[in-house]
Amino acid sequence: MNAPVAVLRNVSKVFPERKALDSVSLEVLQGEVLALLGPNGSGKTTLLRVLASILRPTSGDVFFGGVRVTNGNVERMRLLSSLVFQRTVMFGGSVYDNVAYGLRVRGVTRSQIGDRVARVLKLVRLEGFERRSARKLSGGEQQRVALARALSLGTGLLLLDEPTANLDPQNAAIIEDVIATVNRELKTAVVLATHNMFQARSLPHRIALISDGRVGEVGLPGEVFGRLSKALASFAVLDNTFSGVARVRDDGVTVVDIGGDVRLEAVGQRAGEVRVLISPTDVIVSKSAILSSARNVLRGRVVELREVGGLVRLRVDVGRLFVVQVTRGSFVSLGLGLGSVVFLVFKASSVQFL
């Protein structure tokens, strides 16, 4: 296991009106992407600010690189991480000036600044924007400038507060791709605060669930989503989650009517009102009704699509809206697009009761 970059031990943060963090203990490992997954107001932003040494905890300890953060060294420790806020603030002046600002404050030479700015602007796909007015860019472009500003500092820990919230799909996809690239190629540790379920499944190595200022489960994305814990279900708007009425057939199979003339076959005997979930990763997309042992085959039409990295996320209307994902290669080879008729195939064991 990689050594920790940053460690929180029993950290609490109390504001006059509320307790934002409640005895949080958490490690951020070298070279990982860690997602803080939780609803708005759960304490994600406060936790990031404590990690960035912008906020000092009311109680508990913060360690960075094995060194305890104190009032005496906090200014120096702030230089070891960079934080990108959810609400981007652009300084007056050009894109170049905005990205170069932190480097100038840190006394980096002019030639080095030029090299770093050019490199990170290319990374966020804004090369050629150097002389443009930063405040006249679109919201998504400004967020990419803010990310470039943080990346230019070359810190070992990158902290991101809802970096794709309210962005259009194109800018969101670029930012997600940059995060993955920086982590993979530079081994930069990243802590990503999000309430985006799809993002939490595809980007991080680990997920920490946070609610009411407390960190509950911490684990691999497959583990956290596979368990479908009450903590996750309490706030998460999960794809392919349906309410319906279940009945048990004579052969012991449970059939769940989720409305829209859609009935699902499930393992396990349940009757009455239920709530079920089908993970998008468990669904096979086909242009024809393939023969398999899967008990559920639904015919529908693609009504929305979004590309994220090497994956394409599809929303398919089968009477109810299902979300599925395929690789970019599969998307092309199947000849899919808006309006395409497809079949969704998944096993009865993929229908999970919540």
pLDDT at 341: 95
Given a cut of 80, whether residue 339 has pLDDT beyond it is yes
CA distance 341 to 282: 19
The average pLDDT across 249-263 equals: 91
* SS3 readout for 132-172: CEHHHCCHHHHHHHHHHHHHCCCCCEEEEECCCCCCCHHHH
Residue boundaries of the structural domains of the chain: 4-235, 241-353
Ranges 76-85, 157-166, 306-315: which has the least confidence: 306-315
Of 327, 181, 354, 337, which is closest to residue 268 (Cα–Cα)?
354
CA distance 317 to 341: 10
Instruction: Record the tokens describing residue 289, joined without a space.
Output: 């009704």
Q: Is 300 exposed, middle or buried (0-12, 13-18, 19+ CB in 10 A)?
A: buried
Could you tell me how far CA 152 lies from the centroid of its own chain? 22
pLDDT at 95: 94
Separation of first and last alpha carbons in the chain: 33
The average pLDDT across 311-332 equals: 90
**Fold match between domain 4-235 and domain 241-353:** no
Q: Which helix (H) or strand (E) holds 84?
A: strand 81-84
Half-sphere CA count of 231, side-chain side, radius 13 A? 19
Q: How far is residue 224 from each of residues 181, 236, 246, 284, measured CA to CA in Å?
A: 24, 12, 26, 22
Given a cut of 90, whether residue 72 has pLDDT beyond it is yes
The average pLDDT across 28-33 equals: 94
Instruction: Give the domain 241-353 fold.
Output: OB fold (Dihydrolipoamide Acetyltransferase, E2P) (2.40.50)
- pLDDT tens-digit readout, 136-147: 998 889 999 999
252-254-255 Cα angle (round to 5): 135
Q: If you average pLDDT over every residue of the chain, what do you get?
A: 88
Angle, helices 139-151 vs 95-105, to 10°: value is 30
**Ramachandran category for residue 282: left, alpha or beta (phi over 0 → left; psi -120 to 50 → alpha):** alpha
pLDDT at 248: 92
pLDDT at 228: 58
Q: pTM to 2 decimals? A: 0.69
Burial annotation 41-67 (CB, 10 A radius, 16+ → b, else e): ebbbbbbbbbbbbebebeebebbbeee
Given a cut of 60, whether residue 236 has pLDDT beyond it is no
Instruction: Give the domain 4-235 fold.
Output: Rossmann fold (3.40.50)
Band (pLDDT 50/70/90 cuts) for residue 238 is low
Ranges 72-76, 288-292, 322-326: which has the least confidence: 288-292
- For the chain, helix, strand, coil in percent to 5 are 30, 35, 35
Ranges 57-61, 149-153, 266-270: which has the least confidence: 266-270
